[in-house]
Amino acid sequence: CVDRDNDIGEKAGLETPIIGREALLSAATKLALADSEESDINAIFEAVRIYERLNASEEDAEVEVVLIAGDKIVGVESDRRIGQRLDEVLSKFEAKSAILVSDGAEDEWIIPIIQSRVRIDSVRRVVVKQSEPLENTFYVFKRLLEDPKFSHTFLPPIGLIMFLLAVSLPVSY
């Protein structure tokens, strides 16, 4: 389970990597008590659910559940921290593959970092059903705004149109 923006650290005061079923359940509980609307809670519980299902179905397989977090400033530093935490985990466990569990599209940007160290068999994005379209739209819009070509070409005319509309509205006192 990956928390790219380190909500588990910022809100619940926990350091990662967090390893093991009981430790993840405790971490999810602490995060829920700190911020009950946090979407990472759902991702942690999904990771535990997948862990339990794999443990029950694959008798000879050694399965472990791990939570890794990045940094509140998402980007290069956050991704480097995730790589370092993953290296710590892989030094303790000889993993042949991984199942990535995340709470949204932004966390999945670290797939190449994980793939550079271990094979990813599956990616499970856990988003509260009511907010998935909204969250995905937010990230698409955010990426468009970060693109200088888009923001310099399309935003000034939109801003001008909105300004002219506001100026043209009748004023009532």
Q: 138: pLDDT confidence band, cut at 50, 70 and 90?
A: confident
Kindly report, residue by residue over 6-48, the tens digit of the pLDDT.
999 999 999 999 999 999 999 999 999 999 888 899 999 999 9
d(C-alpha 78, C-alpha 41), whole Å: 19
Whether omega for the bond prior to residue 17 falls within 30 degrees of 0, making it cis, is yes
The secondary structure element, H or E, covering residue 124 is: strand 119-125
User: What pLDDT was estimated at residue 99?
Assistant: 94
d(C-alpha 19, C-alpha 110), whole Å: 19
Q: 131: pLDDT confidence band, cut at 50, 70 and 90?
A: low
Q: Please, is 163 exposed, middle or buried when counting C-beta atoms within 10 Å of its C-beta (0-12, 13-18, 19+)?
A: exposed
d(C-alpha 50, C-alpha 47), whole Å: 5
d(C-alpha 81, C-alpha 95), whole Å: 19
| Mean pLDDT (whole number) for 74-97 | 92
Contact 124, 99 (CB under 8 A): yes
Mean pLDDT, the chain, integer? 88
Which two three-digit tokens encode residue 143?
């990426």
DSSP state of 16: S
User: What pLDDT was estimated at residue 132?
Assistant: 64
Tell me: pLDDT of 139 over 80: no
Kindly report, residue by residue over 53-74, the tens digit of the pLDDT.
998 887 777 899 999 999 998 8
DSSP state of 130: T
